[in-house]
């Protein structure tokens, strides 16, 4: 079995702390775009953690599916959500109350 040097131990500790910090920021974020970017960064760091654990196949799957594909789908969903919210316009009916599109 390979001996772990101080530098390797320090890198692993830093990687673990970075993962915990990213996870905390991701869950505490109120902005959706920031949360998605942190999710992608978390997935990439998690892939690096899998490499450190000698599981390159899991690391590739995490990077490709976890960070890449899922992150892209989340960004696309956020873009559609924001564009849908921007196209909604508020109208007032004859009594002065607000009516959203499709509720007239």
Domain ranges across the chain: 32-88
To which H or E segment does residue 37 belong? helix 32-52
Q: Which two tokens stand for residue 3?
A: 């001996």
Neighbours of 75 (CB within 10 A): 16
Q: Give pTM, 2 decimals.
A: 0.76
Are 88 and 100 contacting, i.e. CB atoms less than 8 angstroms apart? yes
What does the chain come to in residues? Answer: 104
Are 33 and 39 contacting, i.e. CB atoms less than 8 angstroms apart? no
Are 29 and 38 contacting, i.e. CB atoms less than 8 angstroms apart? yes
- Confidence (pLDDT) at 19: 97
pLDDT in tens, the chain (104 residues): 577 799 999 999 999 999 999 999 999 999 999 999 999 999 999 999 999 999 999 999 999 998 999 999 999 999 999 888 877 755 455 665 665 555 54
Task: Report the sign of the C-alpha dihedral through residues 24, 34, 86, 97, in that order.
Answer: positive
The residue whose two tokens read 């599109």 is 101
How would you classify residue 102: left for phi > 0, otherwise alpha for psi between -120 and 50, otherwise beta?
Answer: left
- Confidence (pLDDT) at 100: 59
- Confidence (pLDDT) at 85: 82
């Amino acid at each position: 079995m390979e001996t772990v040097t101080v530098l390797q131990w320090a890198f692993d500790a830093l990687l673990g702390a970075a993962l915990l910090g990213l996870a905390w920021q991701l869950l505490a974020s109120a902005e959706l775009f920031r949360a998605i970017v942190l999710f992608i960064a978390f997935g990439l760091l998690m892939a690096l953690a899998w490499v450190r654990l000698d599981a390159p196949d899991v690391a590739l799957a995490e990077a490709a599916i976890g960070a890449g594909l899922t992150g892209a789908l989340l960004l696309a969903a956020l873009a559609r959500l924001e564009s849908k919210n921007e196209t909604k316009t508020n109208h007032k009916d004859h009594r002065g109350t607000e009516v959203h599109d499709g509720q007239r």
